[in-house]
Amino acid sequence: MLRKTSIILMALLMGIGTACNKEELEQLRKEKQQLSEQIARKDSTIQALNQMNSRIEKNLQLVIDRRGIDSTVLKSIRQSNLEQRLEGLQEAVSTTQDKMENLRSQLRGARYQAGRYREKVGKLQDTLQMRSDSIQKLHKDLMAKAKQVEKLVNQAQQKDSTIIRLKKENEDYLEALQKKTKLVNTAYVATGDEKELEENEVIVKKGGFLGLFGQTPVLDPRYNQASFEEFSIPHGREVTIKAQKRKVEVVTPHPKNAYLLEENGETTVLKITDPEQFWRAGKYLVVAY
């Protein structure tokens, strides 16, 4: 009976083949080794007891044969020894069964825990895969956006270059326009004594009798620009002459109906009444006295 129990125990122990983790399997293997060693020791003890019992029975038989003792005494002794042995074996088997039940309980707990660990690991792997897919998608989106941003930056740089060029062209155009506008809207005025104007190469005298009498002053074709002052056509309407009206003579050919001469004490004011017609004759005004 003990041998069958040992075989069953070893079979049960060998059936524990699946472990949830290495540490629990190692612990179970150690406990199995300890149980195997205990069973081996008990088998050795039982074998020794059987041998001792055989010797005792032989000695008793010799005593009975020599002294004529009733055989029922031997049977009772054998029965008593057998009962003690069976009780010891039952106690050992009971202890072993308790240990096996404890091991089964630990094994069930370990399997349950391992199942939970596997479930958590599976969920973590699924989550990790989902996040990995999300990261790859985000990476692709970022690369696409980076290319788009680079394209926009290039376009912006091209536009900035175009804007700078156009701005420069516009500035040059405005500068040229301002110069042209100023040139168009600027007239030049020279007033003074006739002799002084002639010396300053503003006027020359032409005509007259024998080139001596009755000569008329006109604008010198090679006039000296430094002798003229700038005059704003859009804003200027009056020219002050330091002489009385009777001495004043407008040398340049401006229409008489486009201006007036008004005396103001020792000075005379030339008032332009029709600027468009007045300056159509020329942008140089020379007044002598």
Which tens digits make up the pLDDT trace of 41-74? Answer: 766 766 776 777 677 667 666 655 665 555 555 4
Confirm whether 143 is domain-assigned.
no
Claim to verify: residue 92 and residue 194 sit in the same structural domain: no
Claim to verify: residue 129 and residue 10 sit in the same structural domain: yes
The H-assigned helical ranges of the chain are 2-15, 22-67, 71-184, 194-199, 275-280
Claim to verify: residue 84 and residue 207 sit in the same structural domain: no
Claim to verify: residue 96 and residue 12 sit in the same structural domain: yes
Measuring CA to CA, how many Å separate 108 from each of 9, 20, 24, 97?
A: 17, 10, 11, 16
pTM over 0.75: no
Compute how many other C-beta atoms are within 10 angstroms of the C-beta atom of residue 270. Answer: 22
Q: How many domains does the chain have?
A: 2
Claim to verify: residue 51 and residue 127 sit in the same structural domain: yes
Claim to verify: residue 117 and residue 226 sit in the same structural domain: no
Query: Which of 73, 100, 135 is at the close of a domain?
Result: 135
Q: Is 133 exposed, middle or buried (0-12, 13-18, 19+ CB in 10 A)?
A: exposed
Confirm whether 141 is domain-assigned.
no
Claim to verify: residue 127 and residue 26 sit in the same structural domain: yes
* Domain interval for residue 74: 2-135
Query: Which of 118, 135, 152 is at the close of a domain?
Result: 135
CA 180 to chain centre: 53
Claim to verify: residue 193 and residue 129 sit in the same structural domain: no
Confirm whether 157 is domain-assigned.
no
pLDDT beyond 70 at 19:
no
Which tens digits make up the pLDDT trace of 133-142? Answer: 888 888 888 8
Query: Which of 112, 135, 158 is at the close of a domain?
Result: 135
Task: Please state which of the ranges 24-33, 48-57, 74-83 shows the lowest mean pLDDT.
Answer: 74-83
The residue whose two tokens read 């009780």 is 87
Q: Is 19 exposed, middle or buried (0-12, 13-18, 19+ CB in 10 A)?
A: middle
Confirm whether 195 is domain-assigned.
yes
Task: Please state which of the ranges 7-11, 24-28, 216-220, 249-253 shows the lowest mean pLDDT.
Answer: 7-11
Claim to verify: residue 27 and residue 129 sit in the same structural domain: yes
Claim to verify: residue 124 and residue 191 sit in the same structural domain: no
Question: Among candidates 266, 183, 209, 231, which has minimal Cα distance to 252?
Answer: 231
Confirm whether 180 is domain-assigned.
no
Claim to verify: residue 114 and residue 47 sit in the same structural domain: yes
Residue 282 has what pLDDT?
Answer: 95
Claim to verify: residue 268 and residue 190 sit in the same structural domain: yes
